[in-house]
Structure 1
Amino acid sequence: MRRAERLFQIVQLIRGRRLSTADFLAQRLEVSVRTVYRDVADLQAQGVPIEGEAGVGYRMRPEFDLPPLMFTKDEARALVAAVRIAQPRLDMALARQADEALSKILAVLPLDARAAAESLAVYAPPVRQDDGTRARLEVLRIAAESRQKVHLRYLDLKDQMSERLVRPLGCFYWSDVWTLAAWCEVREDFRSFRVDRIREVGVQDVRFRDEPGKTLADLFRVVEARRENFVSSRV
């Protein structure tokens, strides 16, 4: 990689993250940490508003921007593949926005890169997901992003109906099923709900804040601990 390309990549990596350490940048660029220190210092001397210091991390001041990026043929093909695979599985709003975003990218590509991207031999067949499920998925995704509590009427796999008040934490896709990961205030524990088995969704005006033991990060820790316990029990 030429030095000019490396400097450009450093800017892109720093502006795309809240904080980037020199170790992270060195690993991504496959150079030494000393090289990263020198390159960042050069960028700062040229007026690029990178804040931070060696040993702590770097971030970009929010007002900084660059001209529109140009993608390589391989990068454009990767974007096409990602959208084709994801689009049939997303909620309708995200699927439409993904298609619009891809159209904008393809429109500004050079003809050869656009032709290579559009001729990509990677396709994703439609999934069995009814419009009602996709509509609920959109509501749950937005509720998780806005951190609003949700009231659910849920039919479990034993065909037992229950009502729950939950804190939606995230939507997860498992091959052909979407689930909602949430903190259930009825069970006072983490629970997972299949979106296709949710019968009613009522977004509440009540917003929630992170509380110790009830966050998505806490859920990941619980899942990882259970996985490790399962593995150790089988050794």
Structure 2
Amino acid sequence: MLTQLQTKRLITARSLADKFNVTTRTIYRDIKTLEQAGVPILTEEGKGYTLMEGYKMPPVMFSESQANALILAEQLVLKNKDASFIRDYTEAIDKVKAVLRQSEKEKANLLADRTRFEQNINRERNSNNISQVQYALTNFYLMSIDYINENNKTSNRIVEPFALISTTENWLLIAWCRLRNAFRYFRLDRITKMKVLPEKFEQHKMTLQEYFDKFY
């Protein structure tokens, strides 16, 4: 339950009950037990529970099957065409390996060495932008991009990043384009220059599914 409380800023008793297949009454009792044990859980009436800012849990230990799942996912990530995404994920996996027990670490390294997906190592990397885009998207910063369209014409756009979509060949950025005054798709491999601007924009109040329902 502590792990679940750390994954989101707010989490409801109902979602916790569904996660662990118990009643909300059980969740209320368990929350009270954690509070009595000194865990600083805050309750926002009508919204849910959150951990006090700054509270740190002891290092999370992974089971062997959980660690193996992450190692397997790393091989899938290596098929991706964005270099920054691959770099960030492999660095994160290194940190996961660092907290494994020695026996688990050896097994994880063996699995990584013995697992391959077809053509996953030497594929061409055609973008290096995902890390910057993710940062701008989650912090609501405007971005300035130089973009080459399908007619090979370059234009500068100021965009409000909204979502990222992975296709079989490319990453697509969905963003509000201030030049066109509308949402547009941008292939990351066609962005020749990118800069995260210090100016913030107002968050678009819809989910990705709501975007699809509205525009498609």
- Match among 134, 137, 145 for residue 127 of structure 2: 134
How big is each residue's C-alpha offset from its partner over 1:53-109, in whole Å with a ceiling of 9 and x where there is no partner? 786411111232222121111110011122222244264344334323322322332
CA distance in 2, matches of 1:142, 1:22: 30
Equivalent residue, structure 2, for 1:51: 42
- Match among 173, 184, 203 for residue 177 of structure 2: 184
- Structure ranking higher in helix proportion: 1
Cα distance 1:65–1:154, how it changes in 2: closer, same or farther (>3 A)?
closer
CA distance in 2, matches of 1:54, 1:158: 54
- Using the TM superposition, give the Cα deviation of residue 204 of structure 1 relative to its aligned residue in structure 2, in angstroms: 6.0
- Using the TM superposition, give the Cα deviation of residue 115 of structure 1 relative to its aligned residue in structure 2, in angstroms: 3.6
Contact 2:97 2:105 (C-alpha < 8 Å) held by counterparts: yes
TM-score for the superposition, normalised by structure 1: 0.75
CA distance in 1, matches of 2:208, 2:22: 35
TM-score for the superposition, normalised by structure 2: 0.81
Map 1:1-235 onto structure 2 (within 5 A): 10-52=1-43, 56-89=47-80, 91-120=82-111, 122-124=115-117, 125-126=120-121, 128-130=123-125, 133-198=126-191, 200-203=192-195, 205-210=197-202, 215=204, 217=206, 220-227=209-216
Q: Which has the larger radius of gyration?
A: 1
Cα distance 1:53–1:142, how it changes in 2: closer, same or farther (>3 A)?
closer
Which stretches in structure 2 are left out of the alignment for 5+ residues? none
Contact 1:156 1:197 (C-alpha < 8 Å) held by counterparts: yes
Identical columns (%): 28
Q: Which amino acid aligns with 1:153?
A: D
Contact 1:151 1:164 (C-alpha < 8 Å) held by counterparts: yes
SS at match of 1:135: coil
Q: Which amino acid aligns with 2:158?
A: L
Contact 2:165 2:172 (C-alpha < 8 Å) held by counterparts: yes
- Using the TM superposition, give the Cα deviation of residue 152 of structure 1 relative to its aligned residue in structure 2, in angstroms: 3.2
Q: Which amino acid aligns with 2:200?
A: F
SS at match of 1:89: coil
Which stretches in structure 1 are left out of the alignment for 5+ residues? 1-9, 228-235
CA distance in 1, matches of 2:37, 2:62: 25
Q: Give aligned pairs, total.
A: 212
